[in-house]
Amino acid sequence: MSSPAFSLCIYCGSRPGADPAFAAVAERVGAWIGQRGGQLVYGGGRNGLMGIVAEATLAAGGRVVGIIPKALVEKEWAHQGCSELHVVDTMHERKRMMAERADAFLALPGGIGTFEEFFEVWTWRQLGYHDKPVGLLNTQGYYDGLMAFARSAVAQEFMNPWQMDLIRVDDDPARLLPELVQAAGLAPEARIEAI
């Protein structure tokens, strides 16, 4: 089996959210990964947007690596259809493995779990712990408030403008996904004619 063209770590809600646009974009993201010979790395659950992105990746022929702490196997309904499902001992182990297995990170709409994961890879990037691209998919302006807050932190001099430049924020997955993969020095495979 050939190795995936790229490995994208997706953080997203364990709920579907109120607006059907969130589920629709999760499906688009998963399909994009699968159609281009990519691999999804994610939290391993079947709930919410997490399950949708995983299903869409698998349906489009992509690989899915799910990494879930054993305490959450039932709560988050571990996805037994993953190409690889890793049941790990702790949340720290999950996050470490997810970060190691990824070429780039992308957060979709989600709740506090998603926020925490996104902030961790953003802050680790500014500390130089990794140099992988970090993206935020701002579907329906979901993250407008968060970005406004971050800009106010810059204005209040608790953040530097260059820290904002470490993340790529876009509402269009068709722009953001290739940008992240290319920024990681990789190229999505041209398998799209099959779609």
Q: Is 110 in the site for ligand AMP (CB under 6 A)?
A: yes
Please enumerate in sequence order all residues whose Cβ is within 8 A of that of 169, keeping only pairs 6 or more positions apart, or say none. 135, 136, 138, 143, 147
- How far apart are alpha carbons 67 and 168 in whole angstroms? 25
Q: Is 103 in the site for ligand AMP (CB under 6 A)?
A: no
Q: Is 66 in the site for ligand AMP (CB under 6 A)?
A: no
In degrees and rounded to multiples of 5, residue 19 shows phi and psi of -95, 125
Q: Identify residues 38-57 at the interface with ligand AMP (CB under 6 A).
A: 43, 45
Minimum CB separation of residue 155 from ligand AMP in Å reads 28
Minimum CB separation of residue 48 from ligand AMP in Å reads 6
Burial letters 185-195, b for 16+ CB under 10 A, else e: ebebeebeeee
Q: Is 16 in the site for ligand AMP (CB under 6 A)?
A: no
Nearest-CB residue to ligand AMP?
113
Alpha-carbon distances of 75 from 51, 69, 79, 188, rounded to whole Å: 13, 10, 11, 34
Pick 113 or 178: Cβ nearer ligand AMP: 113
Would you tell me which residues interact with ligand AMP (CB under 6 A)? 13-15, 43, 45, 72, 76, 91, 95, 110-114, 116-117
